Amino acid sequence: MSLPAALSHYLSHRPQRIALLQHIAEQGSITRAAKAAGLSYKGAWDAIDELNNLAARPLVERSVGGRGGGGARLSEEGQRLLRLYQRLQALQAQVLEAAEDSADLDLLGRLMLQTSARNQLAGTVASVEEDGAHDLVYLDLGGGLHICAAITRESTHRLHLTAGTHVVALMKAGWLAVHDRHTPCDGTANRLPAQVNSIEPTDAGSSEVRMNLPNGQTLCALVDNTTRDTLGLESGAEVAVSFDPGSVLLGRPF
């Protein structure tokens, strides 16, 4: 059965994050790679942070400043992933040719959803403990960092979560609170040490604060400008980030 429209769409529409890796490999510049991938400069930085957060080791190595808005290159891990993706593209063409109905492809597209959560941290389930009607799922993020997610028992079973399961923890930027590094917080909350990377004001009386974690992952929080000024937040500031276990959503690869 011929599927020219479906083939054209699925073969020509590469995920932007993978396309960005390709262009970084070719251009060696964040600015030029972002333009080629159809992303804003800020969007490219966000995508790189997400890629590095989700990988076991950073996929992109970067340097700030210089001509072209900063240099960047793929790490050995990033190069390996890109080669794998290129091989998968060839296999994808064969699979699409074997599809019996374009509706099958539409269903696959709905299953492969993107998420609006700004924070996506890859981790491994360390343990699962019952807590009333819910489960507390403890995650190892690497580098000595751990967080807890409170989810329903049904979700634990549906995701088949056991010790050693690889998952992604998702949190919206507005669910994170930023504190002085030495200020205690609610004992039930997750608390991670962080260093402010950048601060960008928004149009809603708040600022987007991007922070580096000690394990190389990053977090993004929305902080009202009064809190920002009270804490004296600036690039390089040592802070603590807290969030409720119930605000942590979990997902896992198929």
Same domain, 142 and 207: no
Strand partners, 125: 139
My answer on whether 160 and 203 are in the same domain is no
Q: What is the dihedral of CA 119, 229, 40, 68, to 10 degrees?
A: -120
What pLDDT is attached to residue 98? 59
Q: How many domains does the chain have?
A: 3
Provide the 3-class DSSP secondary structure of residue 165: coil
- The DSSP result for 42-65, as a single string, is HHHHHHHHHHHHHSSS-SEEEE-S
Check if the beta carbon of residue 163 is closer than 8 Å to that of residue 125: yes
Query: 134 — phi, psi (to 5°)?
Result: -115, 170
Same domain, residue pair 92 and 20: yes
What does the pLDDT read at residue 3? 34
Residue 70's pLDDT band (cuts 50, 70, 90): low
Q: How confident is the model at residue 102 (pLDDT cuts 50, 70, 90)?
A: low
Q: What is the pLDDT of residue 11?
A: 33
Q: Which domain range does residue 238 map to?
A: 173-242
The helix/strand/coil state of 10 is helix
pTM of the shown model: 0.66
Residue entry with tokens 């991670």: 192
Q: What share of the chain has pLDDT > 70, as a percent?
A: 80
Residue with more model confidence, 43 or 241: 241
Distance from C-alpha of 216 to C-alpha of 212, rounded to nearest angstrom: 6
